[in-house]
Structure 1
């Protein structure tokens, strides 16, 4: 095979593999946090702190290698908003992970991210196509389906759902704020480092350090250093090489991967209601990506 033909084949396959790896990392966050808080019995504040602190160490090392210590700068307004919204996400996500299944949590999170970013577009008076209106409506309908009265023994904890929805709002606002950051890797490293300091205060106030089984360290550290820290860093490497629409569509796989991981590792079998809600949410996000004719 000609070397040029081989390279044309190899580069897209490598990019696809890296993108798939990032999506698995994002979905693994739901499963790993569920393992630490629910299965190992760790406190949500302790889990959130370990995740942020270990992620910050990895991200700071990568940012310093790329930009040097002099490059670790960010406008105060952007940094403050990033730390606040990231902390909101970690707070809701960490507590909710102990209350609802991994797949349901990921679905709720991504639906609320979609709705929050849609609201942000309205706030900034961005031109919104009919497809985005329809997509946001379907995503909202998917969340409504998740909250329907339970049947067949299936129940979703309303507090867990509300907290994961709050986490989705936090992540959506964090994503909107990230558009203003010129150096996303540096911004994420600084956001993680300062949010870890806030999580330390939360943990000391909640007094939940040292609770649960000792093996809870493993999923908490993996979620921070690998699936968050290295996962985000890899995502920033992949993003410039793929269209924005493809990047958004790729993330539609995350709730489904999380549901599969929950079924395999946590024996959390998704209900028929979950699949109906997933169809509405993922279909809604996909429709919102369509360009206006």
Structure 2
């Protein structure tokens, strides 16, 4: 794969991940769809898209080998525990974005994901050097500064929901390590999470509200920025160094904040800028020092 293609696919993947925040905020802030319905449509459309892509690839491979393409389920992919973590991430994400700006939400989500994964490393006995401890302190200080009461502080309840969403995604990511083909595993988890989301929508049927515009945003979030975004990312990931793959994701909250300002008219406040620099800079210190200590 050429460097130009790697760069292009990486940019597309980061834009897709940031696009999830923008589409969710657009839907829940500017249309009539409710958070539970958005979550369900996102997970179901993502599951169907991933399943179709995997079936197309499997059918093409079998055709080349002279074997008829299969149409059954994907065996041995994903797990119900991972699917529950995926659902928890998606539902908390949607309910949080009913009130959170896109940039603040993406920053809280990313910070919580990284905190969960770093916390697991500490729990497993990983030792941090002084620059990493300084990075953790800086990131925690940025998070506290973002959430301190004030005119531009995000709503506390929504912020807590987004932190829970990030923790769920961190758990999902940790559970997915070393499980084989990541696209196949992701497909299996989406296929399991979809009926969970449908069941939750049935339980909240009395609060259901859907309109055409909100439905289109949810479909785009599930099929494009989630399913296709993950496929693009997992395609380019083997070509990236571990440090590059980790640090390039620092751009997602920045893209979301800029997109929120350009598309939704959300303010990029001094508080958000300072918190972003502290949180993302602190996480970058942890990641870069960790990779520097790792054996080549």
Instruction: Tell me the residue number matched to 1:284.
Output: 282
With normalisation by structure 1, the TM-score equals 0.90
After superposition, the C-alpha distances for 1:194-219 in whole angstroms (9 at most, x for unaligned) are 11111111111112675154211121
1:84 & 1:129 partners in 2: Cα distance? 34
2:178 & 2:207 partners in 1: Cα distance? 35
Q: Pick from 70, 73, 82: which aligns with 2:75?
A: 73
1:189 & 1:132 partners in 2: Cα distance? 35
1:221 & 1:278 partners in 2: Cα distance? 29
Instruction: Tell me the residue number matched to 1:34.
Output: 25
Instruction: Tell me the residue number matched to 1:145.
Output: 145
1:17 & 1:146 partners in 2: Cα distance? 32
Query: Relative to structure 2, which stretch is displaced further, 20-29 or 58-67?
Result: 58-67
With normalisation by structure 2, the TM-score equals 0.89
Question: Does the 8 Å contact 1:99/1:160 carry over to 2?
Answer: yes
Matched, 1:15 2:13: no
Q: What is the SS of the residue equivalent to 1:14?
A: helix
Q: In the TM superposition, what is the alpha-carbon distance from 1:126 to its structure 2 partner?
A: 3.1
After superposition, the C-alpha distances for 1:92-147 in whole angstroms (9 at most, x for unaligned) are 10100111100000000000111100111122223444433332322222211111
Instruction: Tell me the residue number matched to 1:111.
Output: 111
Q: In the TM superposition, what is the alpha-carbon distance from 1:85 to its structure 2 partner?
A: 1.0
1:176 & 1:90 partners in 2: Cα distance? 17
Q: How many residues align?
A: 280
Matched ranges for 1:101-250 at <5 A: 101-150=101-150, 153-207=151-205, 211-250=209-248
Aligned CA distance change for structure 1 residues 197 and 268 (closer, same or farther; 3 Å): same
Matched ranges for 1:49-68 at <5 A: 49-67=40-58
2:133 & 2:55 partners in 1: Cα distance? 41
Question: Does the 8 Å contact 2:138/2:282 carry over to 1?
Answer: yes
Q: What is the SS of the residue equivalent to 1:136?
A: helix
Q: In structure 2, list runs of 5 or more residues that go unmatched.
A: 60-69
Query: Relative to structure 2, which stretch is displaced further, 239-248 or 138-147?
Result: 138-147
Instruction: Tell me the residue number matched to 2:39.
Output: 48
Q: In the TM superposition, what is the alpha-carbon distance from 1:38 to its structure 2 partner?
A: 1.8
Q: What is the SS of the residue equivalent to 2:106?
A: helix
Instruction: Tell me the residue number matched to 1:87.
Output: 87
Supply the RMSD in Å over aligned alpha carbons: 1.9
Q: What is the SS of the residue equivalent to 1:260?
A: helix
Question: Does the 8 Å contact 2:92/2:164 carry over to 1?
Answer: yes
Q: In structure 1, list runs of 5 or more residues that go unmatched.
A: 1-9
